[in-house]
Amino acid sequence: MNPYKRAPFVIIATTLVYIFLYAPIVGLILYSFNASRANVTFEGFITERSDKVVMDGSMVVSSPCGAFHWYCDLAKNNDVLEAAGNTMTIAITATIIATIIGTMSAIALQRYDFKIKPFSQLSLYIPIVIPEIVMGIGALTLFSQLFSWVNSTFALTGDARLSLGMATVAISHIAFMVPFVTLVVQARLQGFDKSYEEAAMDLGANEWITFRRVTFPMILPGVLSGALLAFTLSLDDFVITFFTNGPGSTTLPIYVYGLLRRIITPQVNALSTVWILVVFSAVVLLQILQSRESKQHS
């Protein structure tokens, strides 16, 4: 039996960790069913017909969606839908591109020796350790300088003018996602036996087929973990997005931040709940895939 099982300190510490980790999330989900318009107090769950006396207009009187009132409200909110669409578009695009670049650099760093290799390896850590706000400001400066130079040099006018938007957000996201993907894939490659590739080539496969049929399937779990990490980083990025977005490229974190400055309704909670569910399902899915994979391999 595990001797630490009954140590009171362990039990207390574990409980505290779970409380601080999950109580906010549970609270947040609970408040998405709040009968009160104000997000400060919990006035009970919404029912189809609220019997409560409306004193100050803060209570919901009737709800055709029942307990899911705020979710229905959310679904009718075009701004939210647009922000959600932007977020997903940016996250998916940036993840695909960052995963490709990150995987390629991981393989290059693993396989080849070149003069600037130590520098390349070190440079991977810089975007990870550097404060996000610095990267955000840096990206903003770069884009605005570059765009004003391009716009004036080529005398671009109207819609042709380059400005901040979806593309700049995506590019900035790719820039900070690549190192994460590279490091995760590199870890997977560390234990990769070169003789698998030699065997494939020995059996008649050229370099490309060897990569596609042997190397890639074998490092796929690492690539997927890297991609998922990058995806979630992009989904909830606020700071860099804040600096690099423009009109029409509002993402969910930016939108929520905007809402909070005006009125806080349980709509925000409903939105967050949906968001948590999406990310959580993605993680669970990946776990299932990986455990199935490792079962086949052992």
Interface with other proteins (CB under 8 A): 193, 195-196, 198-206, 209, 213-214, 217-218, 296-298
- Residue 163 structure tokens: 């400005």
- Residue 192 structure tokens: 């990769």
Beta strands in the chain (DSSP E): none
Q: Which is nearer to other proteins, 79 or 293 (CB)?
A: 293
State the nearest-atom distance from the C-beta of 171 to other proteins, in Å.
Answer: 34
- Residue 1 structure tokens: 């039996």
Q: Which is nearer to other proteins, 157 or 296 (CB)?
A: 296
Q: Which is nearer to other proteins, 209 or 260 (CB)?
A: 209
Measure the CA–CA gap between 132 and 262, rounded to whole angstroms. 26
Contact 83, 49 (CB under 8 A): no
β-partners of residue 59 are: 36
For residue 145, the number of C-alpha atoms closer than 13 Å in the C-beta half-sphere is 6
- Residue 23 structure tokens: 């109580």
State the nearest-atom distance from the C-beta of 209 to other proteins, in Å.
Answer: 7
β-partners of residue 34 are: 45
State the nearest-atom distance from the C-beta of 192 to other proteins, in Å.
Answer: 11
Which value, in Å, is the radius of gyration of the alpha carbons in the chain? 24
Q: Which is nearer to other proteins, 199 or 289 (CB)?
A: 199
The position carrying tokens 């399902």 is 281
State the nearest-atom distance from the C-beta of 196 to other proteins, in Å.
Answer: 5
State the nearest-atom distance from the C-beta of 204 to other proteins, in Å.
Answer: 3
The position carrying tokens 């690492």 is 222
Contact 130, 209 (CB under 8 A): no
Centroid of chain to Cα 146:
27
Contact 263, 63 (CB under 8 A): no
Q: Which is nearer to other proteins, 117 or 213 (CB)?
A: 213
State the nearest-atom distance from the C-beta of 201 to other proteins, in Å.
Answer: 4
Running DSSP on this structure, what letter comes out for residue 154?
A: T
Q: Which is nearer to other proteins, 54 or 289 (CB)?
A: 289
State the nearest-atom distance from the C-beta of 156 to other proteins, in Å.
Answer: 49
Q: Which is nearer to other proteins, 216 or 280 (CB)?
A: 216
